Chains A and B, each alone.
Chain A
Amino acid sequence: MSGETTAQVATGAGGAAAGRPVLEAVHVTKHFPVRGGLPRRGATRKVVHAVEDVSLSLYAGRITALVGESGSGKSTLARLLAQLYPVTGGEVRLHGRSVRALRGKAFRDHVRQVQLILQDPFASFNPVATIAGTLRRAVALHHPGKRGRERTAVIDDLLTQINLVPPRQFTAKYPHELSGGQLQRISIARALAADPEVFLADEPVSSLDVSIRLGILNLLRRLTEERNAAMLYVTHDIASARYFATDTAVMYAGQVVESGPSEAVTQQAAHPYTQLLIASAPDPSRASADRVKDIGQPPSLIDPPAGCRFHPRCPYAMERCKVDTPASFDISPGHTARCWLYADDEEARARRAENAEAVATLTAPVSLDIPAPPDSPVTPDSPVAPDTSTD
């Protein structure tokens, strides 16, 4: 058991991104009580193990992606970092200082430095308030000295920063009069009002149309770079993590299973779950038409499996996977996986070789240069990945 993933990512990736993390989660655990009536006598109250012993660090000027499926705990982790929920165990540190700021002034101080951007732009605006009204509240909170005209000037400046010009065209509008892309920009503006050091973007583009996603992501990237802010990019789309984030952490059933530089995690995925995720992602740029045969689904988080939480679905699972929680193993500098395949013993070596062979062509590109033969919709000349699952 080791939670040192973070430190390794820090020193490993890029090297240049030095210094201390701005915001970090240290062995953070979050359990939600299961709702439903009064607690039963005798039995302990059931909990959902939403996040279990997760450590993650965010650095200034860098984007860290947190990838996982729904229910993996990725959004919960973002909200724990935003201090919207109290942690059950572990701690959240801002500039190395532990914070527990759930209400009042302490919370507002935290929020001033850490801002959350939500997934659905249509839902994240009060439908009966104008854009100016919504932004004015954020400005009033974070620029308490400013009044009237000055506030309007701040709002105009915010809208200009996110490329909504001229600002006056948007301020008088209601949310339903704007498009998803415009609204998502305005939620970013709302976050900017606090001039934060950390952005926590929870699936900021998932509910947007494909053609406008890129614009939003580029905006977020520009803001991160210009302000030297730290950014957590929560997503279910591992391909976008590859393009957008310096580092990537993959979550499964409440735990980080793999993390490291994005290119390493997506191109040399070590954990069988990451491999499954990559194999499943629709992507015509890859040749491997033959896919993983996986019929499983994520486990119940009320009663998660012992050992590695992925072992019931894992084609490479060994005996110890059912019993012991995997330790963190270094794959390459900064790239770690919590998987017993990387243990230093006979069985693991054998399994590891098996796995390596199976996923060798996982991200091999389809060749674009040779036109396909007329009657073949699939390119037969490209290598086909063997079935990565055994049963």
Chain B
Amino acid sequence: MALQPAALAEADATAESSGGPNHLWLRLLRSPLTLSGLVIVLIFVVLAVIAPWVSPYDPSAVSDSTLVGPSASHWLGTTQNGQDILSQMLYGARASMFVGIGAAVLTTLLSVLVGVTAGYIGGIGDELLSLLANVFLVLPSLPLTIILAAYLPHSGSLGIILVITVTGWAWGARVLRAQTLSLRKRDFVEAARATGERTWRIILKDILPNQVAVIAASFLGTVTGAILTQASLAFLGLADVTQWSWGTILYWAQTGSALLTGAWWWFVPAGLAIAVLGTALSLVNFGIDEFINPRLRQAGIGTKKAQRGQVSAKRVRRVKRRGPAVRRPAAAPFTQDSTDVVLDVRNLRVEYVGEGGRTPAVSDVSFTLRRGEVLGIAGESGSGKSTLAYAITRLHKPPAEISQGEIHYTKPDGSTVDVLAMDDTELREFRWEELSIVFQSAMHALNPVLRIGAQIEDVIVAHRPGMNAPERAARVIELLGIVGIPADRANSYPHELSGGMRQRAMIAVGLALDPEIIVMDEPTTALDVVIQRQIIEKIMELKDRLGFSVVFITHDLSLLIELSDTIAVMYGGKVVEMAAADDFYRRPQHPYSRGLLASFPTLGGPKRELTGIAGSPPDLRRLPSGCAFRPRCPHAFDACAAQVPQLYRIGAPGGGSSLAACLLHTDASPDQAADPAADPASDPKTDTAAAAGAGDPHSETTPNELATGETR
């Protein structure tokens, strides 16, 4: 089995730039705020270190020039006793930062020790340790610190460090315990255990390195906290007031009534220094936060940018007139000849705009969805299928952007609207009145703090302002009944329902306004097969009853073949094959489709040979030239590297036809053409056999495979 030598990423979103984790931290420095924070901290550290050599005066030396404002000889002025404030500040930086860093080191050590131990050992030891941490967390730390400090009168920095450690370790311990708990459940820790690794090595090699960011954040937070606490204690006279620190300067300023004499230079610098250092440390911490939680970098949804940045192509408004609301025709079984198009997607291109340029996740995708049709979109990870789902509902978020193409929706009254040209109001009406969405994970897509009924009712409140409460309640019950949820479950919260029930509730939300189209993005992937079957049956039953169209997106091709009318297979952001489901199953045309179908083990009939596909799905950022499937394709020839294949129409004897983007079918006419012809060689067995043994690709795509006279 051949493998692609290059690293192939499989993520659907491709905007992230990569590099080894050891270089990732460099990304921290890219944020100007983080960088300036880091620079300020460094300046303070340097000043504290070199203070004895650069201080112009002895900070305690008394002189005659008392209470002088900033001047050339005393940059920051002098105190009541004529002491130089700049020198006091420099020496103060030493003491304050010594306490800050010292306390942070001890506190972090204690936090790591307690947190990691509690999280890793679990059981009763964990319960006791975390109880202890919680108790310390709730105890008001400053009063406790004051009392402890008062019992250690005039204690030096070491005493204060100890006091701060005793009162401050609990927060870090709690955070680290939670982290350790979640890391311990991660597969790589279990894998390390299963290989027989020793516990201490697991903690050292697997747990701790993954907590570096959190430990650093807790460390920096404690530095700020300790400096503040030390300043408070010194200001209250509870520290050794003869040792210069920023807090002691403020203490003497307060006792020397600097305030009343207007000697602002006496009390401003010390407080400012604490605030600036604290801010700088917090800025570094934000950088770490964003590093840990990349979601913090995204734009909020309330901004104009997020709302507007989705469609880059400028477009002209078309049909505006809104006809009278027409009930859609009664549900009729869908046939392949149906011409009643509800959604028409043309040459859609969606790109992720990142630092490294634009990555197309969906390129040149066209399809039509007809009334009552189930269009199945199949694809592996990275094929762009989910991006497509979000783009046709215009729910995609930056950095994804529609850069090309058209989406037209035809209302039941026959008028057509341009989905990409809709403004917010129109979009709001389009989404859910005309088109609704069922997300993959109902657990995540339902608001955990709202009752199921309320989440369905929300839609009705927003779109049917005329309905009163009892009517809405009745509709909610009706909807729940439709999807098979007992009415009393309307008052349940999502976490009280089973996975299958939650997915049914999601479907009820989708049905609330009787939409024309429901887009389902892997609605059953998280469910077990038996529950999946229940849900699918329900969807199909509802579709027949209510007559909506479905765009069903999944990676599970066998499921798709069972439930779809038409199947589109995506690979590398493109549709590589589109055909009626039955034709597709019997006569897959694209080598990728054939490979996929030959990858599924079957339950019916005798076992057949499974061949699978060599290699891995491509990385959208580094698509191969020409046909994206070329490196994995058993039939690839020279032209495949040079030419991006377009969709060719291939006829079938029964009158159906497939579209396949493969140069093996160049003899067939491109999609737009309409050449009537017969296709005697479309028996799947001969087809597969021919394809499998193909040396010269042209030999098997002889005039046999010509298009039939089908136009769409």
A and B touch in the complex (CB under 8 A): yes
Task: Select the residue from B530, B582, B586, B614 with max chain A CB neighbours within 10 A.
Answer: B530
- Tell me whether A137 and B197 are in contact (CB under 8 A): yes
Q: Quick check: which of A2-10, A224-232, A301-309, A358-366 contacts chain B, the rest being far away?
A: A358-366
| Measured CA separation A194–B561 after assembly (Å) | 43
**Closest residue of B by beta carbon distance from A108:** B196
| Measured CA separation A377–B205 after assembly (Å) | 56
* B534-549 with Cβ < 8 A to chain A: 534, 536-537
- Tell me whether A377 and B580 are in contact (CB under 8 A): yes
- Which of B192, B561, B615, B617 sits near A284, CB closer than 8 Å? B561
Q: Quick check: which of B100-108, B238-246, B288-296, B603-611 contacts chain A, the rest being far away?
A: B603-611
* B370-429 with Cβ < 8 A to chain A: 380-381
Please indicate the chain A residues that have their CB under 8 angstroms from the CB of B596 in the complex: 210-211
**Closest residue of A by beta carbon distance from B379:** A209
Please indicate the chain B residues that have their CB under 8 angstroms from the CB of A345 in the complex: none
Is A179 at the interface (CB under 8 A from chain B)? yes
Task: Select the residue from A112, A130, A191, A377 with max chain B CB neighbours within 10 A.
Answer: A377
- Which of B585, B601, B656 sits near A239, CB closer than 8 Å? B601
Is B600 at the interface (CB under 8 A from chain A)? yes
- Tell me whether A182 and B562 are in contact (CB under 8 A): no
- Tell me whether A239 and B603 are in contact (CB under 8 A): yes
Known A70-B528, A284-B558; contact A190-B191, beta-carbon cutoff 8 A: yes
Is B529 at the interface (CB under 8 A from chain A)? yes
Please indicate the chain A residues that have their CB under 8 angstroms from the CB of B562 in the complex: 282-284, 289
Is A384 at the interface (CB under 8 A from chain B)? no
Q: Contact string, B574-611, partner A, CB cutoff 8 A, digits 1/0?
A: 00000011100110000010011001111111110011
- Tell me whether A179 and B529 are in contact (CB under 8 A): no
Is A212 at the interface (CB under 8 A from chain B)? yes
| Measured CA separation A6–B528 after assembly (Å) | 27
- Tell me whether B529 and A277 are in contact (CB under 8 A): yes
Is A278 at the interface (CB under 8 A from chain B)? yes
- Tell me whether B380 and A210 are in contact (CB under 8 A): yes
Known A127-B210, A211-B617; contact A285-B195, beta-carbon cutoff 8 A: no
Q: Contact string, A148-186, partner B, CB cutoff 8 A, digits 1/0?
A: 000000000000000111000100011011111110000
- Tell me whether B599 and A211 are in contact (CB under 8 A): yes
| Measured CA separation A238–B602 after assembly (Å) | 9
- Tell me whether B604 and A126 are in contact (CB under 8 A): no
| Measured CA separation A276–B581 after assembly (Å) | 25
**Closest residue of B by beta carbon distance from A373:** B654
Is B264 at the interface (CB under 8 A from chain A)? no
- Tell me whether B530 and A69 are in contact (CB under 8 A): yes
Is B82 at the interface (CB under 8 A from chain A)? no
- Tell me whether B533 and A294 are in contact (CB under 8 A): yes
* A81-132 with Cβ < 8 A to chain B: 82, 84, 107-108, 111-112, 115-116, 118-120, 123-130
Task: Select the residue from B205, B532, B533, B607 with max chain A CB neighbours within 10 A.
Answer: B533
**Closest residue of B by beta carbon distance from A280:** B533
- Which of A129, A240, A243, A371 sits near B586, CB closer than 8 Å? A371
Is B612 at the interface (CB under 8 A from chain A)? yes
Please indicate the chain A residues that have their CB under 8 angstroms from the CB of B599 in the complex: 210-211, 213-214
| Measured CA separation A368–B555 after assembly (Å) | 23
| Measured CA separation A192–B22 after assembly (Å) | 28
> For chains A and B in complex, what number of residue pairs have CB atoms within 8 angstroms?
248
Is A286 at the interface (CB under 8 A from chain B)? yes
Is B317 at the interface (CB under 8 A from chain A)? no
- Tell me whether A123 and B581 are in contact (CB under 8 A): no
Please indicate the chain B residues that have their CB under 8 angstroms from the CB of A191 in the complex: 195
- Tell me whether B196 and A194 are in contact (CB under 8 A): yes
- Tell me whether A125 and B197 are in contact (CB under 8 A): no
> Interface residue tally of chain A, by bracket?
35 or more
| Measured CA separation A179–B168 after assembly (Å) | 43
Known A82-B194, A137-B195, A187-B191; contact A285-B530, beta-carbon cutoff 8 A: no
**Closest residue of A by beta carbon distance from B597:** A284
**Closest residue of B by beta carbon distance from A219:** B1
**Closest residue of A by beta carbon distance from B565:** A377
- Tell me whether A179 and B555 are in contact (CB under 8 A): no
Known A179-B8, A210-B555, A282-B556; contact A174-B196, beta-carbon cutoff 8 A: no
**Closest residue of A by beta carbon distance from B652:** A371
**Closest residue of B by beta carbon distance from A364:** B604
Is B347 at the interface (CB under 8 A from chain A)? no
| Measured CA separation A214–B684 after assembly (Å) | 22
- Tell me whether B194 and A116 are in contact (CB under 8 A): yes
Please indicate the chain A residues that have their CB under 8 angstroms from the CB of B9 in the complex: 176-177, 179
Please indicate the chain A residues that have their CB under 8 angstroms from the CB of B298 in the complex: none
* B550-578 with Cβ < 8 A to chain A: 555-559, 561-562, 565
Known A124-B191, A128-B210; contact A141-B654, beta-carbon cutoff 8 A: no
**Closest residue of A by beta carbon distance from B335:** A375
Closest Cβ–Cβ distance, residue A72 to chain B (whole Å)? 9
- Tell me whether B612 and A215 are in contact (CB under 8 A): yes
Known A276-B530, A297-B500; contact A366-B604, beta-carbon cutoff 8 A: yes
**Closest residue of A by beta carbon distance from B193:** A84
Closest Cβ–Cβ distance, residue B240 to chain A (whole Å)? 43
**Closest residue of A by beta carbon distance from B333:** A377
**Closest residue of A by beta carbon distance from B656:** A374
| Measured CA separation A194–B582 after assembly (Å) | 48
Closest Cβ–Cβ distance, residue B269 to chain A (whole Å)? 42
Closest Cβ–Cβ distance, residue A304 to chain B (whole Å)? 16
| Measured CA separation A295–B555 after assembly (Å) | 25
- Tell me whether A118 and B210 are in contact (CB under 8 A): no
**Closest residue of A by beta carbon distance from B4:** A179
- Which of B190, B533, B559 sits near A292, CB closer than 8 Å? B533
Is A242 at the interface (CB under 8 A from chain B)? yes
Closest Cβ–Cβ distance, residue A29 to chain B (whole Å)? 20
- Which of A194, A214, A282 sits near B195, CB closer than 8 Å? A194
**Closest residue of A by beta carbon distance from B531:** A297
| Measured CA separation A185–B292 after assembly (Å) | 28
* B609-644 with Cβ < 8 A to chain A: 610-617, 632
Closest Cβ–Cβ distance, residue B609 to chain A (whole Å)? 10
Known A277-B530, A371-B653; contact A179-B616, beta-carbon cutoff 8 A: yes
Is A356 at the interface (CB under 8 A from chain B)? no
- Tell me whether B196 and A107 are in contact (CB under 8 A): yes
Is A142 at the interface (CB under 8 A from chain B)? yes
Please indicate the chain B residues that have their CB under 8 angstroms from the CB of A378 in the complex: 582
Known A84-B193, A209-B555, A377-B580; contact A281-B500, beta-carbon cutoff 8 A: no
Is A138 at the interface (CB under 8 A from chain B)? yes
Is B302 at the interface (CB under 8 A from chain A)? no
Please indicate the chain A residues that have their CB under 8 angstroms from the CB of B603 in the complex: 238-239, 242, 266, 278, 281, 283, 285-286, 363
- Tell me whether A141 and B529 are in contact (CB under 8 A): no
* A349-387 with Cβ < 8 A to chain B: 363-366, 368, 371-379
**Closest residue of B by beta carbon distance from A193:** B195
- Tell me whether A111 and B187 are in contact (CB under 8 A): no
Closest Cβ–Cβ distance, residue A185 to chain B (whole Å)? 8
Known A178-B7, A295-B534; contact A283-B604, beta-carbon cutoff 8 A: yes
- Tell me whether A69 and B612 are in contact (CB under 8 A): no
- Tell me whether A179 and B556 are in contact (CB under 8 A): no
- Tell me whether B605 and A363 are in contact (CB under 8 A): yes
- 10 A–B pairs (Cβ distance < 8 Å), ordered by A: A111-B195, A123-B186, A127-B210, A141-B197, A176-B9, A177-B18, A178-B7, A181-B616, A218-B612, A294-B534
Q: A178-B8, A210-B555, A371-B654 are in contact. List 4 more A-B contacts (CB 8 A).
A: A124-B188, A137-B201, A243-B607, A285-B604
Chain A positions near chain B (C-beta within 8 angstroms): 38, 69-70, 82, 84, 107-108, 111-112, 115-116, 118-120, 123-130, 137-138, 141-142, 163-165, 169, 173-174, 176-182, 187, 190-191, 193-194, 209-215, 218-219, 236-240, 242-244, 266, 276-287, 289, 291-295, 297, 363-366, 368, 371-379
Interchain residue pairs A-B with the least CB separation, the first 3: A365-B605, A214-B612, A286-B604
Chain B positions near chain A (C-beta within 8 angstroms): 1, 3-5, 7-10, 18, 20-22, 127, 186-188, 190-197, 201, 205-206, 209-210, 335-337, 380-381, 484, 498, 500, 528-534, 536-537, 555-559, 561-562, 565, 580-582, 585-586, 592, 595-596, 599-607, 610-617, 632, 652-656, 683-685
